[in-house]
Chains A and B, each alone.
Chain A
Amino acid sequence: MPMGLSNYRASLTRFQSFIALLILCIALSLLSNKFLTIENGWNVLRQISVNVCISVGMTLVVLTAGIDLSVGSILAFSGAVAAGLLKNGIPWPAHDLFIGFTLLGTIVAALIVGAALGFFNGWMITRFKVPPFVATLAMLTIARGLTMLSTKGYPISSLGSKFDFIGSGWLLGIPVLVWISAVTVILAVVLVRKTPLGRYIYAIGGNEQAARLSGIHINRVKIIVYTIGGILAAVGGIMVTSRLDSAQPNAGTNYELDSIAAVVIGGTSLSGGRGTIMGTVLGAIIIGVLNNGLVLLDVSPFWQQVIKGLVILLSVIVDKMNSQEA
């Protein structure tokens, strides 16, 4: 098969989701006059910003032929940690001490928590050969439990206007949430396309044994990837907590599913080695626009779920049909 053809096909596939998105947007703007407004545009981008961040991490994980089911719980726990530290600090009654946290301190702490849990995932998967599905399923429960423990099951609210700026503020005419997801995407694209680590991620997903024999440190790459996944979940946790001005104990429930959906709609293969960050971003936008449009059209939330499921199926079927022709 000549090279040009497979390249052409690859770009066609990417083009396809783009066309799908375009058709979706045109249809929605015809059906609702509220859809095609600048305000609604920002709205959609703000709504998907959390999913974009998580899904970028998920893409890296899936490219190595792994999966991360724990992102929703890690999001909740790091959000709770951020809120708790910001509001209450760490009291240390035995020594009559109290450690307060600045805004930056809380953010760093939340990111460290996310990184640690992600690292733990990677460690289990590489050191003890626990399948990613199982390891991260366990973490899904563990991190949720930790969230409940740390919040005692109640929301932690009223976190102050500085923290609020992350979720509701604007910078240079663009919402801060959108800035965060845009920077995340750019960094991820650079990582994937311009660094050796990015290549290793594809190589491991494409053929792990061959990558090992090529001298690639498989375990290190995997641990890094799951750690990044944890950090980005924590970023999502900070975003969600700030936007609601509250850390909810059940925040992020089912977020892993939305994020896997974005990855899959974006054309990344769950068996690893094939996919792009921009595809995932497109996937997240499609889901976001669909959600937004269905709400504007007053479709019942129950139908929304059915429709979202069908879209996931459709996108994978189209993808399969393409790769079979190739």
Chain B
Amino acid sequence: MLVAEKIGKRFTGVIALQDVSMQLRPGRVTAIIGENGAGKSTLMKILSGVYAEYEGRILLNGAEVRFANPKEAQEKGISIIHQELNLIPDLSITENIFLGRELTDRWGLLNKKAMRERTALLLQRLKLNVSADILVRDLKVGQQQVIEIAKALLLESQVIIMDEPTSAISEAEVEILFGIIEQLRAEGKIIAYISHKLDELFRIADDFVVLRDGQVTETGTMKGIDHDAIVRKMVGRDIARLEHNRAPADAAEDLLSVAALSWHAGNKQLLKNISFSLRRGEVLGIFGLMGAGRTELLECILGLHAGEHTGDMRLNGVSLDVRSPRDAIRAGLVLVPEDRKKDGLIPGLDVKTNISLSILRSLGRNGLLNNQAERSLAEHYKDSLRIKTPNLEQQVRHLSGGNQQKVILARCLATNPKVLMLDEPTRGIDVNAKNEIYKLILELAESGLGIIVVSSELPEILTVSDRILVLCEGKISGTFPRATAGEDDILKAAIPKTI
């Protein structure tokens, strides 16, 4: 049993955790629930030895433990699987699993055979059917996650903490992950599971701990509570799940039409003969599993792979020749990318600059920046998108995920686009902020934008889309109007027929 007693942690002037007490029991999965900034990550970092200084005590099987660093925590049997995976892409699975604890022979040389054999056993146990020698780079994200779990198993960890393990993987991979978690639970491991996806927690977790503003507001078993009650405990008030009855856009002429788009990269066919159209005021949802070609499709439309693909694109009936994101923006196409940190934000620059970046030149006069115009632009979007920031000079890295996403959205909207594309718009964002983003998407559609939303979360697609396009292995495998779209049908269309 892992017990936390009155844990407290403060950063310069800010209380991150206060009086947090909880128990994680063996053979059970405990969901750690809370909005962004509630203190979940801080708590997990204390449990796993990332933060060595804190108030209170941690007891593992009745004895107090205190870790100076993550390595000590691992040695005592606590492993954490971070949201951002800690794997080295150009090393093999075996090399990654044994990194820092390589087996050696009596000459001090690597004992590759023994390591490979133990890796193979682990992979077998986790039902991952790949060779121990292949590079992590060549694995899918879901498979990479399994490698992280294998690392924890190698250490014979008693406690496994998973931080948003499903945020980057497809529904099919989630099933595999859940299978593994069931297995670990049966083996009597203590599992802490952090996720924003409540539906998931109801499937996999036994107990829950709700954090709000650094304090525990409720603990209990998942059986004894329902969805809305948990949300209430998280946010401290009722929030309605977003329901809307938007009339689908009128069948006016097409805003964007894509015809016979195909893309080969090397000998891989990434997109096959994709044709669809988008109307003004319409929200088109694109659903697909990992590797179905969702992101690739958006990237082609945005001109990131100019010259590599075939097919025809028209905007308002006029043929488009988009050779770079710059051309795309000029034509009126913008993308809110999938990975905020990697592709979206300039973390060290302030909120104002992150918003004005795409249209700096047109705001300026005589080749100089116009501070006043920049400020009022940022001010405008801060209000209209309800961006929560102490001020416009705040470095964007300090904002919460939802607000960062709004900043990127603001930058895109500032270019006055005709078509707005959003790739996984709510990844890693808490429930409350998610609904905010959905509302904004619908408002923007009302104002006449054509919107494409790509997502691997079915509830999300079903919430915002007027029409749903399903991709599977680079092809369109189904089109559903919102009215008739059923989860089962969509999933069926998304899953490849041959594996």
Contacts and interface: CB of A to CB of B under 8 A. Distances in A.
A209 B325 CA distance: 11
A214 B368 contact: no
A325 B357 CA distance: 29
Contacts of B12: 5
Max chain B C-beta neighbours (<10 A), residue from A7, A195, A198: A195
Interface string B12-36: 1110000000000000000000000
Given A210-B345, A214-B411, A215-B329, A195 B368 contact: yes
A163 interface: no
B360 interface: yes
Interface in B317-363: 324-326, 328-330, 335, 337, 342-349, 353, 357-358, 360-361
Contacts of B395: 3, 6
Interface hub of A203, A207, A209, A211 (most chain B Cβ within 10 A) = A207
Contacts of A87: none
A203 B325 contact: no
Nearest to B351: A3
B346 A273 contact: yes
Given A7-B393, A196-B360, A209-B343, A214 B348 contact: no
Nearest to A209: B343
Interface string A186-214: 00000001111011101100110111111
A109 B343 CA distance: 42
Interface string B407-443: 0000100010000000000000000000000000000
Contacts of B337: 210, 213
Given A1-B398, A3-B390, A203 B369 contact: no
User: A-side binding surface: helix, strand, loop or mixed?
Assistant: helix
Contacts of B411: 214
B89 interface: no
The 3 nearest A-B residue pairs measured at CB: A215-B329, A206-B346, A196-B360
B4 interface: no
Contacts of B329: 214-215
A129 to B, nearest CB: 15
Contact of B358 (A6, A206, A215): A215
A210 B407 CA distance: 13
Most buried by B among A3, A214, A274: A214
Max chain A CB contacts within 10 Å: which of B12, B330, B357, B393? B357
Nearest to B359: A215
A173 interface: no
B344 A213 contact: yes
B367 interface: yes
Interface of B: 12-14, 302, 324-326, 328-330, 335, 337, 342-349, 353, 357-358, 360-361, 364, 367-369, 390-391, 393-395, 398, 411, 415
Given A3-B394, A7-B393, A194-B369, A214 B357 contact: yes
A210 B341 CA distance: 9
Contact of A213 (B330, B335, B364, B369): B335
Nearest to A200: B360
A203 B344 CA distance: 11
A195 B14 CA distance: 37
Contacts of B364: 195-196
Nearest to A325: B12
Interface of A: 1-3, 5-7, 193-196, 198-200, 202-203, 206-207, 209-217, 273-274
A195 B398 contact: no
A123 B13 CA distance: 49
22 contacts: A2-B390, A3-B391, A3-B398, A5-B12, A194-B369, A195-B364, A195-B367, A195-B368, A196-B360, A200-B360, A203-B357, A207-B346, A210-B346, A213-B343, A213-B344, A214-B325, A215-B326, A216-B326, A216-B358, A217-B324, A273-B348, A274-B348
A211 B367 CA distance: 19
A29 to B, nearest CB: 38
Contacts of B324: 212, 217
B415 A215 contact: yes
Nearest to B353: A199
B302 A199 contact: no
Contact of A3 (B343, B358, B361, B393): B393
A215 B330 contact: yes
A196 B367 CA distance: 7
Nearest to B408: A210
Nearest to A207: B346
A3 B415 CA distance: 27
B361 A213 contact: no
Given A3-B390, A3-B391, A215-B329, A210 B367 contact: no
B50 to A, nearest CB: 14
Given A196-B360, A215-B358, A209 B342 contact: yes
Nearest to A274: B348
A1 B396 CA distance: 11
Nearest to A6: B395
Contacts of A194: 368-369
Given A6-B395, A213-B337, 6 more contacts: A196-B360, A202-B346, A203-B346, A203-B349, A203-B353, A210-B344
Nearest to A202: B349
B325 A213 contact: yes
Contacts of A207: 342-343, 345-347
A195 B346 contact: no
B10 to A, nearest CB: 13
A217 B327 CA distance: 10
Contacts of B394: 3
Interface-central residue, A5, A213, A273, by most chain B CB under 10 Å: A213
B346 A212 contact: no
Contacts of A7: 393
B372 to A, nearest CB: 13
A198 B13 CA distance: 34
